[in-house]
Structure 1
Amino acid sequence: MSAPIRVLVCDDQVLIRTGFVTIIDAQPDLEVVGECADGRAAVDLARALRPDVVVMDVRMPVLDGIEATRRLAGAAVTDPVKVLVVTTFNLDEYVYAALRAGASGFLLKDAPATHLLQGIRTVAAGAALLDPDVTRQLVGRYAARIRPAGPSPADDALTPRELEVLRLIAEGLSNREIADRLVISQETVKTYVSRILAKLGLRDRVQAVVYAYRHGVVSA
């Protein structure tokens, strides 16, 4: 039997944090190894406990979730920790910044508990998590404001099929959904995704979504 996924929960709202801890600890394959109420404590605990996933709120005292995420999972971090941002819908700009800071994905706080649990497992497995119901609004609305002028670098770097896959990723579709849409196998989709990330110098699907909206591959 494999070891449980170790989770650190960080949220300044006691009721929400307690709820997350209770839901997560009830799963046989998940284990809460710590909890805290501010970003600085999250950074300190994550460095000390080395959890598999940090469930991170955005707005918190002392140090917000964006800066905490950057310190734990940013590009300059040599041994990053996976961060799953869980937030409310009206914090779209903050979540965009958190994804840019290195978060592996996001969920809304009003999502079903099953989404949170699956999200933790997905991020722990090394995949990125995007809430398909809000990807367009959450990322697209803000990315459109900072979109550079001129053609997208992806136009030259990617083949037409790879561009098509990137657009579907940006819509929040999973590999299976992309495979169904394009009538190809999931393995083929995985190959396309790997090529897209490599060609554009991106770390994961989250960065691919941000890139797609920022560079006009898809419209917000």
Structure 2
Amino acid sequence: MANKKVLVCSKNRLTLTALCLCTPILQSLVGGATTEDEALQVQQKNHPDILITSEDLESGYGIRLVEKAKNYSPELKALIFLQRETPEVVQEAMEAGADGVMFISSIGTGDGDFINALSTTNSGGIYYPRSVREAATAKVKSAPVLVDPLSERELDVIRCIIRGMRNIEIADALFISSETVKSHVSTVIQKLGVRDRTQAAVFAMTHGLIEAGI
């Protein structure tokens, strides 16, 4: 988290305070907010690198905040805690651009969701734990007919991205070079017509291109 700026947004003021005082965040904190509009104002003033938000806000909607924040700053890493665990809500959060999705019910389970999410996204990966992936693929959309279908190797790369792996880790796992991984990622983004690797992974999951529960 060194040299990173963090913005935290939550409806629950106690939760907001607890997150702001969390050791990995405290020294990097540039603002805390309870509403969508407040968070966007802080973003435009302080240009944070990481947004952490809950689904429910005092005013506004956490998933919409993620979408607006990412549109304003595509390089922003956005993490969201969801109260609802339905396929529709999980897919909505992913498609809004959330790089990390966690269920509030996972807090305190000992799985380290929050710290894992911070660590993974901070190092360039995405964080969709198994419970989130299973929800996302429980109700897939109609699979598109691609003019140029993804190859099996490209699907392998997508599977690795979904697991939060960085390019160097994907290269090691698939016994290929990092440059080849970059080439595959670029090709996948082009074939699917999405904006980045996160959205390529989301598209593959929500449209059934990747097997459920991977």
- TM-score bracket, normalised by the shorter chain, equals 0.7 to 0.9
Q: Secondary structure at the match of 1:91?
A: coil
Does the CA-based 8 Å contact 2:7-2:50 persist in structure 1? yes
Q: Among 146, 151, 160, which residue is 1:153 paired with?
A: 146
Counterpart in the other structure of 1:86: 80
1:62 matched to 2:54? The reply is no
Counterpart in the other structure of 2:118: 117
| Residues 64-101 of structure 1 deviation map (CA, whole Å, 9 limit, x = unaligned) | 11121222223xx4x44624223147434333212212
Unaligned runs of 5+ in 2: none
Count matched residues.
204
Counterpart in the other structure of 1:31: 28
1:174 matched to 2:165? The reply is yes
Among the aligned pairs, what percent are the same residue?
A: 30
Does the CA-based 8 Å contact 1:38-1:62 persist in structure 2? yes
Q: Among 38, 42, 45, which residue is 1:45 paired with?
A: 42
Counterpart in the other structure of 2:182: 190
Change (3 A) 1:218 1:47: same
Unaligned runs of 5+ in 1: none
Does the CA-based 8 Å contact 1:89-1:138 persist in structure 2? no
| Residues 149-168 of structure 1 deviation map (CA, whole Å, 9 limit, x = unaligned) | 5x5417x2433321332244
Q: Among 71, 87, 98, which residue is 2:68 paired with?
A: 71
Q: Secondary structure at the match of 2:22?
A: helix
Change (3 A) 1:108 1:42: same
Counterpart in the other structure of 2:127: 130
Counterpart in the other structure of 1:202: 194
Change (3 A) 1:26 1:216: closer
